[in-house]
């Protein structure tokens, strides 16, 4: 009898050592170092860069005399392009955003295509006393970087009769944009420590949330928005080309450059490089996958998963290189090449969504049920 009591005691102690639902997926990779690298070397610097550009735009538009000069416009165009490039790094993560908001930072600041009809409507209705509604879900079609692109890069500026209204609207769009950017930047700066120290691997752990955002960003922004929509793969399969759906349509000669920046943002976090690429500490997804010793079986071969993802990055590079700088032009002249790039991306996204998520062993669910 005593033996049995002893056994029961031993067993129950053993069990109590195992805390309920800690979700024992804990590996001892240094996630804190990775998170700190991402947040401090990539995310925050990219927000600073973006804010700087938009602040410059604000200064320019504030100094508009009665009417903006061509010189002002050219300066705005330059700053806009720089801001658009920096934006690619900032719009990836939804951390700290209220999910009840009608749209995310990404949509409020970088949605495209914007709607010229809505923008013109806003311009006609504008007056100095009533604020423009920049918070409705419809407002994503008349604000953000791509609205500014329409305002400064299309020929509307010269053709628009009511210059005063026009400039007032431009001014409000820039102000609203800057406010949002500064808010997000402040969020990251004030919550830096909390985010970096939340290293657990449950669904609410920083790495879990960020890796999910990383993949959705690759899926929705890099693949669908930048390539799928203009090439006509999305929203219909019936290849009806939509060149007007490229990013920055009114300066579409920049669209490829923006795609490349977006891809670089994803690569930086993968390789553990800083925002401007100057520091490569290596604390990134690649290192994590190597740490986990994770390989992948392709036919009879076994290769390192990280190597295979690198190969996919290379494949994307190759497919992009042959494209025109102007994606709108590319769609018009030879859409097959756009679709070819889409197909390469379509190999890449499932690789992240299935194989990578599998080995990182992260809970996608907020509900944590038992397994088999």
Which residues within the stretch 188-247 sit at the binding site for another protein (CB under 8 A)? 234-238
Does residue 130 touch another protein according to CB under 8 A? no
Options 16-24, 67-75, 125-133, 143-151: segment touching another protein (CB under 8 A): 16-24
Phi, psi of 112 (to 5 degrees): -155, 155
Among 73, 290, 340, 357, binds another protein (CB under 8 A): 357
Smaller CB distance to another protein: residue 98 or 369? 369
Report the nearest approach of another protein to the CB of residue 210 (Å).
Answer: 17
Does residue 25 touch another protein according to CB under 8 A? yes
Smaller CB distance to another protein: residue 95 or 292? 292
Q: Which is nearest to 182 in space by CA: 43, 40, 48, 78?
A: 48
Among 308, 320, 329, 334, binds another protein (CB under 8 A): 308
Among 70, 71, 129, 298, binds another protein (CB under 8 A): 298
What are the distances in angstroms from CA 342 to CA 215, 239, 290, 319, 355?
A: 16, 12, 28, 9, 20
Among 50, 107, 181, 296, binds another protein (CB under 8 A): 296
The whole-angstrom separation of Cα 279 and Cα 42 is 10
Among 27, 193, 317, 332, binds another protein (CB under 8 A): 27
Does residue 345 touch another protein according to CB under 8 A? no
Helix-helix angle 327-350:255-271, to 10 degrees: 20
Among 30, 55, 165, 355, binds another protein (CB under 8 A): 355
Among 15, 62, 204, 311, binds another protein (CB under 8 A): 15
Does residue 358 touch another protein according to CB under 8 A? yes
Cα 162 versus chain centre, distance = 36
Can you tell me whether residue 32 is helix, strand or coil?
helix
Which residues within the stretch 253-292 sit at the binding site for another protein (CB under 8 A)? 292
Structure tokens at 317: 């590079």
Smaller CB distance to another protein: residue 278 or 369? 369
- Write the DSSP string, 165-208: HHHHHHHHHHHHHHHHHHHHHHHHHHHHHHHHH----STTSHHH
Report the nearest approach of another protein to the CB of residue 113 (Å).
Answer: 17
Cα 115 versus chain centre, distance = 21
CA atoms within 13 A on the CB side of 85: 16
| Cβ contact 124:165 at 8 Å | yes
What residues make contact with another protein under the rule CB under 8 A? 1, 4, 7, 11, 14-15, 17-18, 21, 23-29, 234-238, 292-299, 308, 349-351, 353-355, 357-361, 364-372
């Amino acid at each position: 009898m005593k033996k049995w009591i002893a056994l029961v005691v031993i067993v129950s102690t053993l069990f109590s050592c195992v805390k309920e639902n800690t979700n024992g997926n804990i590996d001892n990779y240094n996630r804190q170092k990775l998170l700190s690298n991402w947040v401090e070397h990539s995310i925050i610097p990219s927000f600073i860069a973006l804010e700087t550009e938009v602040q410059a735009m604000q200064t320019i538009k504030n100094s508009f005399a009665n009417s903006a000069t061509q010189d002002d416009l050219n300066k705005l165009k330059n700053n806009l392009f720089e801001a658009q490039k920096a934006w690619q790094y900032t719009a990836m993560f939804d951390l700290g955003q209220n999910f009840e908001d009608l749209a995310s930072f990404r949509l409020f600041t970088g949605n495209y295509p914007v709607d010229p009809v809505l923008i013109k409507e806003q311009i006609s209705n504008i007056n100095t006393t009533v604020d423009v509604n920049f918070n409705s879900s419809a407002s994503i079609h008349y604000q953000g970087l791509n609205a500014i692109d329409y305002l400064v890069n299309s020929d509307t500026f010269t053709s628009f009769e009511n210059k005063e209204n026009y400039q007032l609207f431009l001014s409000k769009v820039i102000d609203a944009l800057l406010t949002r950017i500064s808010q997000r930047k402040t969020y990251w700066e004030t919550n830096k420590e909390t985010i970096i120290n939340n290293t657990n691997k449950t669904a609410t752990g920083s790495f879990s949330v960020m890796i999910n955002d990383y993949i959705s960003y690759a899926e929705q922004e890099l693949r669908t928005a930048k390539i799928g929509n203009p090439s006509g793969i999305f929203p219909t399969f019936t290849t009806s080309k939509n060149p007007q759906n490229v990013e920055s349509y009114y300066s579409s000669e920049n669209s490829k450059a923006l795609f490349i920046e977006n891809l670089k943002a994803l690569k930086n976090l993968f390789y553990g490089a800083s925002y401007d690429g100057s520091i490569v500490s290596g604390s990134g997804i690649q290192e994590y996958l190597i740490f986990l010793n994770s390989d992948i079986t392709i036919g009879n071969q076994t290769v390192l998963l990280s190597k295979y993802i690198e190969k996919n990055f290379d494949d994307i590079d190759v497919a992009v290189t042959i494209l025109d700088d102007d994606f709108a032009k590319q769609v018009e002249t030879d859409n097959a090449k756009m679709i070819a790039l889409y197909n390469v991306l379509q190999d890449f996204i499932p690789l992240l969504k299935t194989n990578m998520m599998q080995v990182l062993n992260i809970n996608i669910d907020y509900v944590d049920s038992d397994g088999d």
